[in-house]
Amino acid sequence: MEKLTICLLLLLFSLSFFSIADGGSIGVNYGRVANNLPSAVKAVALLKSQGVERVKVYDTDPAVLKALSGSGIKVTVNLPNELLYNAAKRQSFAYSWVQRNVAAYYPSTQIESIAVGNEVFVDPHNTTRFLVPAMKNIHEALLKYNFHDKIKVSSPVALSALQNSYPSSAGSFRSELIEPVIKPMMDFLRQTGSYLMVNCYPFFAYESNSDVISLDYALFRENPGVVDAGNGLRYFSLFDAQVDAVFAALSALKYDDIKMVVTETGWPSKGDDIEVGASVDNAAAYNGNLVRRILTGGGTPLRPKEDITVFLFALFNENKKPGPTSERNFGLFYPNERKVYDIPLNMEGLKHYIDRQSPVAGGERMQKGGKGNVSPSVPGQTWCVASGEAGKDNLQAALDFACGEGGADCRSIQPGSTCYNPNTLEAHASYAFNSYYQKKGRAMGSCYFGGAAYIVHQQPKYGNCELPTED
């Protein structure tokens, strides 16, 4: 009997250890908006050397899918936004796309999911109405090949899809999206046993509100926590609060059974002077502590038993990404395959991981790109402006969206109005982007526009026109 008791105790211990080791899962986004990256074969070898089990790509490049063949790495591929119309309107196109980009590689390349589009609701080309029909047609194509039980279909949404995100318990989807696309998409996910893909960046929330959000809270470091007045739950990380805002939005529409995968999250290692918190130390802390948080198991305060799969953004720094400096510095590795900072990406590496918190002089943290000595912003005062590096076509498309579907107040930039001059695309786009941003209550993700915009903390002025704000 004593031996039996010992065996049972050992079994229970092993099971408890397994449950810890088998918590959530970490993947990495492999973006390639750059002209100096190593070959796909070298990139896959790098992923394997780091013990990465999952990778997400933004297309179906044959060189990448061939390099992943036989690697044992699970793959999420992407049908780009520009193909949504064809995929939605023509079942034959969906069949052909799946044949060329999935069936041709599977199962040697372990494709586990297809991301149909990416952050479609903020796509300036107004592709939202094609999303669910495209998802359904791609799923029908998978049925033809009998892949439907093995490969899931979903679509990554940005947090800007939420009308409310604070407090988490008040999480809700934008009202104009609910009937046309949110409910049909959730019904599809439920019927096919799939999950919601969400892109979640606490960095952007911290950058915009560093005067009221604790850096320790944003970086998973020790902090007193924040109590959600709506449900009484205490949050110790901004990431958990953002994820639970999405779960609350799902619950509000009676989709409590829909699971979630965080398809993008990360923190930049470098930024412009105005980009609060972008630094190597903070990036290492966020991503390293996030890996520990996910791999050691346990869900969020709202869903404590739900382990989450998270994809870090990104594998490499990408030198051709438009926008502020941070956009080109989200990588875990430089293009020469050297680590930007040293963090683990698997359970084995976690055994020796320590968050090496930088010394803090006088109780004040270094901010704005890690350079310090920057005056704090006035609480709540932020503006959204156009990026001159986004390119004329991208800016024009984003401006058209903001003044059209986005509902920005663009009357002041019409000929003869107060902010028509200077008559430049960047000035007009900045006015429209800021109007949209302020109307959305400066919500997380509402100053993005496909990378064509970024947040500033000093009131911008174009000629005699100052961009307004709302208190």
Catalytic residues: 119, 264
Distance CA 101, CA 103 (A): 6
Q: Which residues have a Cβ under 8 Å from the Cβ of 276 and sit 6 or more positions away?
A: 206, 207, 210, 367, 368, 377, 457
Sign of CA pseudo-dihedral 209, 213, 214, 215: negative
Residue 269: count of CB within 10 angstroms of its CB: 24
Distance CA 247, CA 241 (A): 10
Residue type, 399: L
Distance CA 149, CA 280 (A): 41
Residue reference for tokens 């947040």? 455
Q: Which residues have a Cβ under 8 Å from the Cβ of 144 and sit 6 or more positions away?
A: 95, 98
Q: Do residues 453 and 447 lie in contact, with contact meaning Cβ atoms separated by under 8 Å?
A: yes
Distance CA 318, CA 322 (A): 10
Q: What is residue 467's DSSP assignment?
A: P
Within its chain, how far is the Cα of 202 from the centroid? 9
Question: What Å distances lie between residue 285 and 124, 198, 278, 390, CA to CA?
Answer: 33, 22, 11, 29
HSE-up (13 A, CA, CB side) for residue 462: 22
Which of 208, 373, 369 has the alpha carbon at shortest distance from 278? 369
Backbone angles phi, psi at 88, to 5 degrees: -80, -35
Q: What is residue 316's DSSP assignment?
A: B
Distance CA 89, CA 137 (A): 9
For 20, the 3-state DSSP assignment is helix
| Residue 222: both structure tokens together | 């020790």
Distance CA 203, CA 190 (A): 31
| Residue 219: both structure tokens together | 């970086």
Residue 257: count of CB within 10 angstroms of its CB: 10
Which of 251, 145, 299, 120 has the alpha carbon at shortest distance from 198? 120
